[in-house]
C-alpha cells in the first residue's frame, strides 16, 4: 500500500457541517485500495482572514506534498468579482498552473445563492479551462444543484468533464451515546446567517421575524399534540444562536424549562461525532442548513427541509423528494409545513423507510466516487 501525503485545504472550524463532510470524506478515502493518506489540514478561512495568501509561497508549500485536496465545501461561488477565479479560491490561474502535484477539487458547491455576476462567471470559466486542461487535476461537485448551476451559468460543455457525487457528509459517523434521552424528540436546525438573502424584502414573502413566529407555533403544536416529548435546537455555527434565542422568545417559560433542549455549539475535528448523533436518533428533523438536511437523510431520519436558500431546494430536487421541502420565506409557511408534517405523522414507518432507501442509494454513489478517485490516482505519476 502506497502512502501519500495530502495537503487538505478546506474549512475545519466555524461550521460543524464542514466537519461532517470531512468525516465522511476520510472514510471514503480509506476505502480506496492501494493508498493510505496522511493528511495535513490547512484552514481556508485563514486566507479569508488575510493570514495566508494564494501566492507563490502557497504553491511551493502545496508542491511539497503528494497531492492537494481542496474541499469539500461551497467554494465555487459565482459572485466573487474581486477574485481572479470568480470564486473564493483566489489563486491566479497562471499561478495555479505551477502546482505540480495532482489536485482534487472534492465535492464542491457551485452556489448562485448570492448572485452570479457575468464577471465572476467569465473568470470561473477561464479557471475551469485551466484546471481541466491538465489530467493531473480532477473536479467533483456535490448534490446541491452544482451541475445545473454550471450548465446554466458557465456552459453545458463542461458537464462531461466534472464528476458528480453526493456530499460525503451523508456517510458521517457519530457517537450515539452523546445525547442520552429516553423521550422522543424533534431535531431543529435554524440558520442565522445571510438573513437578508434568506428572507428578502419582496412581494409575497415573509420577514424573518414572521418566520420565527410561525415556526414557533408549529413546534409548540408538536409538543401539545404529543407527537414528540421534546424539541432539540441545534446550532451549527455561532450565528444560529441568534435564531435559537429569537425562537425561545415565543415559547412559554414552562415549555422552555421542561421540554426544550439546546445542543452545544461545538467546533473542530471530532465535534461532529457528538452533534450529528442528535439527528440520527431524532424522531424527525426540521432543517435549514445543507448538512443538517443531508446528514439527517443519510441516517434515514424523516426530514423536512426548511428552504430559505437555493441549495436546499436543489438538494431535495436531486434526491427526488421535493415534496418534503417547504419554502419558509413565503406567506404560506404554516399551511405548507403543517401539511407535510401531517403526511409524515400519518405513517411514520413508511416515510422512515423511504428515507432509508434514499440513504442507501446515495451511499452507492459515494462508493462509485471512491472508486473513481482510485482510478484517477492510478493514472498519476506518484512514484
Q: Could you read off the pLDDT of 106-135 as tens digits, one per residue?
A: 999 998 888 899 999 999 999 999 999 999
pLDDT of amino acid 332: 76
pLDDT in tens, 18-60: 999 999 999 999 999 889 999 999 999 999 999 999 999 999 9
CA atoms 47, 50, 53, 58: torsion sign: negative
Averaged over 138-164, what is the pLDDT? 95
Q: Output the CA–CA distances (angstroms, integers) from residue 318 to 111, 142, 180, 312, 358, in the order listed.
A: 15, 10, 34, 10, 11
Report CA dihedral (178, 179, 184, 187) to the nearest 10 degrees: -90
| Per-residue pLDDT at 194 | 93
Cell of 118: 457575468
* Per-residue confidence (pLDDT) for residue 104, from 0 to 100: 98
**Quick one: pLDDT at residue 382?**
78
Q: Per residue in 338-363, pLDDT tens?
A: 999 999 999 999 999 999 999 999 99
Nearest CA among 285, 321, 320, 276 for reference residue 306: 285
The structural domains of the chain, ordered by start, are: 2-170+361-378 (3.40.50), 185-360 (3.40.50.2000)
| Residue 48, all three cell numbers | 479569508
Q: Which of 336, 281, 327 is nearest to 308 (CA)?
A: 327
What percentage of the chain exceeds 70 in pLDDT?
99
Q: What is the pLDDT of residue 115?
A: 87
Query: What is the tens place of the pLDDT at every residue in 62-102?
Result: 999 999 999 999 999 999 999 999 999 999 999 999 999 99
Using alpha carbons, list the distances in angstroms from residue 160 to 46, 150, 155, 261.
33, 11, 11, 46
Query: Tell me, what's the pLDDT at 204?
Result: 76
Q: CA-to-CA distance for 76 and 99, rounded, in angstroms? A: 19
The reported pLDDT for the residue numbered 1 is 85
Q: What is the pLDDT of residue 290?
A: 97
**pTM, whole model, 2 decimals?**
0.95
SS3 for the chain is CEEEEEEEEECCCCCHHHHHHHHHHHHHHHCCCCEEEEEEEEECHHHHCCCCCCCHHHHHHHCCCCEEEEEEEEEEECCCCCCCCCCCCCCCHHHHCCCCCCEEEEEEEEECCCCCCHHHHHHHHHHHHHHHCCCCEEEEECCCCHHHHHHHHCCHHHHHHCEECCCHHHHCCCCCCCCCCCCCEEEEECCCCCHHHHCCCCCCECCHHHHHHHHHHHHHHHHHCCCCCEEEECCCCCCHHHHHHHHHCCCCHHHHHHHEEECCCCCCCCHHHHHHHHHHCCCEEEECCHHHHHHHHHCCCCEEEEECCHHHHHHHHHHCCHHHEEECCECCHHHHHHHHHHHHHHCHHHHHHHHHHHHHHHHHHHHHHHHHHHHHHHCCCCC
pLDDT in tens, 152-200: 999 999 999 999 999 999 999 998 878 878 899 999 999 999 999 999 9
260-307 confidence digits (pLDDT tens): 999 999 999 999 999 999 999 999 999 999 999 999 999 999 999 999
Q: Strand order of the sheet with strand 284-287?
A: 260-262, 230-233, 185-189, 284-287, 303-307, 325-327
The pLDDT tens digits for 300-332 are: 999 999 999 999 999 999 999 999 999 999 887
Could you count the other beta carbons within 10 Å of the beta carbon of residue 124? Answer: 24
Going by pLDDT thresholds of 50, 70 and 90, the confidence category of residue 208 is very high
pLDDT value, residue 383: 59
Task: Return the pLDDT at 203.
Answer: 67
CA angle 262, 268, 269 (to 5 degrees): 115
Amino acid at each position: 500500500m502506497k502512502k501519500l501525503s495530502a495537503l487538505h485545504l478546506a474549512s475545519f472550524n466555524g461550521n460543524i457541517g464542514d466537519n461532517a463532510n470531512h468525516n465522511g470524506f476520510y472514510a471514503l478515502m480509506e476505502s480506496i485500495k492501494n493508498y493510505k493518506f496522511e493528511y495535513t489540514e490547512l484552514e481556508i478561512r485563514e486566507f479569508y482572514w488575510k493570514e495566508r495568501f494564494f501566492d507563490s509561497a502557497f504553491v511551493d508549500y502545496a508542491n511539497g506534498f503528494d497531492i492537494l485536496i481542496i474541499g469539500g465545501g461551497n467554494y465555487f461561488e459565482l459572485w466573487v468579482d474581486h477574485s481572479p477565479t470568480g470564486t473564493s479560491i483566489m489563486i491566479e490561474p497562471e499561478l495555479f498552473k505551477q502546482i505540480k502535484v495532482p489536485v482534487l477539487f472534492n465535492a464542491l458547491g457551485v452556489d448562485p445563492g448570492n448572485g452570479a455576476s457575468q464577471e465572476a462567471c467569465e473568470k470561473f470559466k477561464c479557471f475551469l479551462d485551466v484546471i481541466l486542461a491538465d489530467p493531473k487535476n480532477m473536479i467533483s461537485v456535490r448534490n446541491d444543484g452544482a451541475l445545473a448551476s454550471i450548465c446554466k451559468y458557465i456552459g453545458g460543455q463542461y458537464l462531461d468533464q466534472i464528476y458528480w457525487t453526493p456530499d460525503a457528509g451523508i456517510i458521517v459517523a457519530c457517537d450515539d451515546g452523546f445525547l442520552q434521552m429516553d423521550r422522543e424528540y424533534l431535531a431543529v436546525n435554524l440558520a442565522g446567517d445571510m438573513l437578508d438573502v434568506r428572507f428578502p424584502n419582496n412581494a409575497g414573502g415573509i420577514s424573518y421575524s414572521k418566520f420565527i413566529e410561525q415556526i414557533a407555533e408549529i413546534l409548540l403544536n408538536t409538543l401539545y399534540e404529543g407527537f414528540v416529548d421534546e424539541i432539540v435546537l441545534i446550532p451549527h455555527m455561532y450565528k444560529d444562536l441568534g435564531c435559537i434565542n429569537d425562537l425561545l422568545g415565543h415559547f412559554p417559560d414552562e415549555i422552555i424549562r421542561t421540554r426544550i433542549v439546546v445542543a452545544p455549539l461545538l467546533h473542530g475535528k471530532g465535534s461532529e461525532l457528538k452533534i450529528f448523533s442528535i439527528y440520527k436518533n431524532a424522531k424527525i428533523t426540521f432543517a435549514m442548513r445543507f448538512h443538517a438536511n443531508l446528514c439527517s437523510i443519510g441516517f434515514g431520519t424523516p426530514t423536512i427541509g426548511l428552504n430559505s436558500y437555493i441549495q436546499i431546494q436543489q438538494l431535495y430536487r436531486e434526491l427526488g423528494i421535493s415534496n418534503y421541502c417547504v419554502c419558509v420565506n413565503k406567506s404560506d409557511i404554516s399551511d405548507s409545513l403543517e401539511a407535510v408534517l401531517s403526511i409524515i405523522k400519518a405513517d411514520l414507518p413508511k416515510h422512515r423507510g423511504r428515507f432509508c432507501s434514499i440513504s442507501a442509494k446515495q451511499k452507492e454513489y459515494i462508493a462509485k466516487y471512491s472508486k473513481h478517485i482510485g482510478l484517477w490516482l492510478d493514472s498519476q505519476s506518484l512514484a
